[in-house]
Amino acid sequence: MLIESLVDKGEASAISLALESENSLLIIDDRKGRRFARQLGLSIIGTIGIIVDAKLAGVIPSVRPLLTKIKTTNFRITEELELLICNS
């Protein structure tokens, strides 16, 4: 079965690469791609997870400016998730 028949080409490429690399962490935001990657046993994180981790590690002072920029693109984030990460 071709991965590309289950997810978009970009996600398929990323998942394939992650499967070839031992102990990889796949950065993926697409819901269908994330679900499929989990089914394959891959470790995943999304853009928001990276931003939150950067804040917790002291790399960035606040997540809010980055979320403001992200929201100007076609990236989707629920209001509930945004409130949760901005208030923690």
**DSSP state string for 1-21:** --GGGTS-HHHHHHHHHHHHS
The model's pTM is 0.81
| pLDDT tens digit sequence for 6-25 | 788 889 899 999 999 989 99
Report domain extents, the chain: 3-45, 47-86
| pLDDT tens digit sequence for 43-57 | 999 999 999 999 999
